[in-house]
Chain A
């Protein structure tokens, strides 16, 4: 007598704690084995691209905070670099160094959250508490800089919104000092943890060739052994001045990606240290009349500055006709902003290349033939933020 065999279609999400937001996955199962896992997206679609197109260039900035809300500074940076490229603005050296410093802090912050939630998905509860505790140091730096802990809007077109706070260096030095020890703690808890290894080793494997074919980027790509990092491949914001390694994995499984992200945190700390040590003196925003707001003090005492302030706030600046693309290495991969301008004071079209979205497309490949319980691990190791996937 044989049992009837039938594929089972299961709906996972969109309200499922391990889908990191409102991701829905339609899983077709053959027993415990996954035949197909199709991600369904759009539950968090907020029309950010279109919203940005309806706003003046400088007013579109807060929208970027809300895409990858775990790495707001990276989004700010990507957008600002794109607009600066369009407007042909050269920012002061100090701004570049500060931006690198902040972007790397953001990478650490994003990876910490990833580590906590990913480990939580796989059953290690205390990791979440530890990483969120440590992330707090970086959030404090954000708050001191821009005044907000998540939606920073600190990096602006042509520079930064304020001068770096007086205690910036002290706070960042503390991060540099404390994080390595914490990383060792994490490794103690996870790297040799049998349960963790069993859940991640040889799970969600993607070959280098597939990774390239899927257009993956960031840790997803490097985990499979492809040494590609925009900071090296196409340096922006002065990354060419920094000395750091680009770690790569071997097998392209979830465990490799875990190790790689931890290593990236260490490299980021190196970059931050260099940035702090070598931070030049200078203004915190470029002097570009008609595009960048004049300093507030001048606005209060100088007629010309007041007029420029007034006009930029009310009418924005007119961009030259044309289109630019600027990609940066965000914690999750290549974050790109494509801006097409028709010469008006609002972008004609903004298209974001979100790394989470592209990386998520590899989910069917990652989970195919695997166990159903490994779908959770696969989603976790991609490191998605639905705000960015759906925009």
Chain B
């Protein structure tokens, strides 16, 4: 029924209603509430429980308005705007109503303002100040929520690693519970009891530790939910704010830093709602990840390896050494013997400076930003890279009616897109399909979750195509061409080898064929797979067959804060032709020597054909999916320079270590996964003597007498010219034969291993954030309940994970989501080098598990 009305609404043009609010005529689409109508013309109505991204409940009743011909005051957040309504938001009756509501809310509110961290930015304070009186008529004992074993007089209760709950202060607006359920799909917080003792609490025996829990604190209108990050640190009126952009995620959530200038310290991150990107929700990585900026472990001075140990030196000495050694290698062996790896989370200027320094100053083409992918192709114009350049819009997920998530565990990779998908499902009734090699969290609202056999991605896609053709879901001409160019494959055979049922494939095919607006989202499992090209080809076939591109969007999502920027600025060995053309124009020349990507660089380092590697912010030792290979390469490097915020596995091997600024310390532009160029402002001064990536490149260039190439204004204009290049390469127009190879060796290793990010971590830096470490502080092997049962493992017990190349012992975590034999390892913890188990030539790494007997 609901779907029917939805469809009807979509079909008929939106009807408008006109009403009068405070003498002002307002026209809004039908279905909007009086509150929304009033706010659309700038009339402010106070609210506690209203949240623009959630459904109205009308529980706080502060948003009273007087509507003519209605006998009583109405709550404007739950009253639909009607034609001809005459609304008054400021009459005496309304004022009296508000005053009464505030008095009622404050009945049981404790006198906690002095101890409450919300003080100064509290909605309850503000609205009482604006609409209440300064005297109370009530002088009686207030209800107090208190555990029996509490020794404190503060009645605070810890309900999660970060969140502290004070039920006395709660005004029961239910915003936390509603957002937790409707927006994040988590059920670890609820309302218990009724009436006077109704209270918010964590679900019995559970902790509120979902990856979005920080938002609950931010939207709490009072200080009932506070987080340890901000708790008892500083008063809000002593801080200043700086607008910035998230650096841990590719969508670039808009954030605000609260900082204290004198102490040069950031105190917290809050959202800066941008409906195109984040809807005002921030994942915990973003909210607490900033803590790395003020970490005491930050590198503060350059280090040079002297006699086997790294000693602190001045910047001049470090830069002189680097310049001398690089010049030496360049002169004696040729510039092809120098390579560079940059982190895709650096800003445009740093990345561009990096690329320009290598190409223009050193005349080397060996630059790359992809340090976590195995077996990269040497060419850059591949189907996969074309797919990665396709336009994608986060907000388009909202009104897509079919969303297919292919090869991505969204909650670990793309938090904002994960929330958008839930929003599309909860508010717009979108149909979701998830196709992954292991069960994922995002699938709990999926119409259909397809878990295929690991390493069989292209089979699933082929099967969907085949099913569409067989079931005549596409027109005969298209089907004919498909048959002609791809040939007929047996659907059952395909499904059998992929380990899925034909019914599910047919269901997906039907949805894709009937969908009006389709978002086909491709994730990391594809980009990091060895067989990314055949899979991409299969996706293109699917796209062609269903015309997905015309009905919505198909894209491989960029993974890091500035992956897209790195792509567009050509920080790859062989950039697209249009980028090279532009570089030729801007720099008058580009080097023509051989170009090597990360894989090739590491291999050549091992063969001692490349002598020097310059690593800017990246940490291949932690993320490259073959630790053995990476280590051999880096250890044999004649001269290794590493720039990072912290001491990492890579900087430990380096001959020269340079301290790098974090993104909060300088103005930088970042291109998010939609191609949106956003600016993060400097919140604090650089910590210690750290410098930005661009400053390092410019200082080195000056030592090569090329400082004129690195003038900031010129660089900025070059960057904007590079970014302005329209680079949406066309997807192949013909169907292609998909031929993927599979691993031959089995060697008795039977459980597929997937390396992923912990939902509370991203990359190699967030480990240094104490709050994130509270959520998840050490590596674990996530396995299904069945597998754990078979191995007789309980949660937290140690398990031995063995692969042909390595072995680690790690605590086990029994997942509620996984349902197949697969093991997930996080790659965020330096104490447990999980990449040591991987082999770069494998498509799917296989391991065997055994219980560790004490």
Contact = CB atoms under 8 A, between A and B. Distances in A.
Contacts of B126: 311
Interface in B100-121: 102-103, 106, 109-111, 113-114, 119-120
Contacts of B136: 298, 302-305
A294 B134 contact: yes
Interface in A296-345: 298, 300-308, 310-311, 314-315
A92 interface: no
A290 interface: yes
Which of A300, A302, A306 has the largest count of B CB atoms less than 10 A from its CB? A306
B708 interface: no
A290 B130 CA distance: 8
Interface string B293-322: 000000000000000000000000000000
Contact of B134 (A300, A304, A314, A315): A304
A306 B113 contact: yes
B113 A307 contact: yes
A289 interface: yes
A304 B133 contact: yes
Given A307-B128, A310-B119, A314-B120, A298 B135 contact: yes
- Counting chain B CB atoms within 10 Å of each CB, the highest count among A290, A306, A307 belongs to A307
B711 interface: no
A290 B129 contact: yes
A310 B113 contact: yes
B134 A305 contact: yes
Contacts of A306: 111, 113
B137 to A, nearest CB: 9
A304 B125 CA distance: 9
B113 to A, nearest CB: 5
A310 B128 CA distance: 11
Given A294-B134, A294-B135, A304 B128 contact: yes
Interface in B130-164: 132-136, 139
A300 B135 CA distance: 12
A289 B134 contact: yes
B120 A307 contact: no
Chain B, interface SS category: loop
B135 A302 contact: yes
Nearest to A303: B106
Contacts of B102: 304
Interface string A123-138: 0000000000000000
A306 B115 CA distance: 12
A305 B125 CA distance: 11
B135 A305 contact: yes
A290 B134 contact: yes
A314 B134 CA distance: 16
Contact of B129 (A301, A302, A308): A308
A289 B106 contact: no
A310 B111 CA distance: 11
B601 to A, nearest CB: 57
Nearest to B237: A314
A289 B135 CA distance: 9
A304 B100 CA distance: 12
A254 to B, nearest CB: 53
Contacts of B106: 303-304, 307
A365 B114 CA distance: 59
Nearest to A304: B136
Nearest to A311: B129
B125 A307 contact: yes
Interface string A215-230: 0000000000000000
A302 B137 CA distance: 9
B155 to A, nearest CB: 15
A328 B113 CA distance: 39
Interface in B799-830: none
Contacts of A303: 106, 109-111, 136
B166 to A, nearest CB: 15
Interface in A279-302: 289-290, 294, 298, 300-302
B96 to A, nearest CB: 15
A294 B111 CA distance: 15
Contacts of A300: 111
Contacts of B114: 310
Contacts of A314: 119-120, 237
A300 B111 CA distance: 8
Contacts of B111: 300-303, 306
A303 B171 CA distance: 14
A209 B139 CA distance: 65
Nearest to A289: B134
A315 B119 CA distance: 11
Given A298-B135, A302-B135, A307 B237 contact: no
Contacts of A315: 120, 237
Contacts of A301: 111, 139
A302 B136 CA distance: 6
Contacts of B128: 304, 307-308
A306 B102 CA distance: 14
Nearest to B236: A314
A300 B113 CA distance: 11
B181 to A, nearest CB: 30
Nearest to A305: B134
B489 to A, nearest CB: 71
A301, A308, A311 — most chain B CB neighbours (10 Å) = A311
A305 B111 CA distance: 10
Nearest to A308: B134
A299 to B, nearest CB: 9
A311 B125 contact: yes
A159 to B, nearest CB: 14
A113 B129 CA distance: 45
A300 B112 CA distance: 11
B659 to A, nearest CB: 38
A75 B125 CA distance: 34
Interface centre among B126, B128, B129 (most CB of A within 10 A): B129
Contacts of B129: 290, 307-308, 311
A308 B125 CA distance: 8
Contacts of B113: 306-307, 310
A289 B133 contact: yes
Contacts of B109: 303
A292 B102 CA distance: 20
Given A290-B129, A304-B136, A314-B237, 13 more contacts: A294-B135, A302-B111, A303-B109, A304-B128, A304-B133, A304-B134, A305-B135, A306-B113, A307-B106, A307-B125, A307-B129, A311-B125, A314-B119
- Counting from the closest, the 3 A-B pairs by CB-CB distance are A308-B134, A302-B136, A289-B134
Interface of A: 289-290, 294, 298, 300-308, 310-311, 314-315
24 contacts: A289-B133, A289-B134, A300-B111, A301-B111, A302-B136, A302-B139, A304-B103, A304-B106, A304-B134, A304-B135, A304-B136, A305-B135, A307-B113, A307-B128, A307-B132, A307-B134, A308-B128, A308-B129, A310-B114, A310-B119, A310-B120, A310-B125, A311-B129, A314-B120
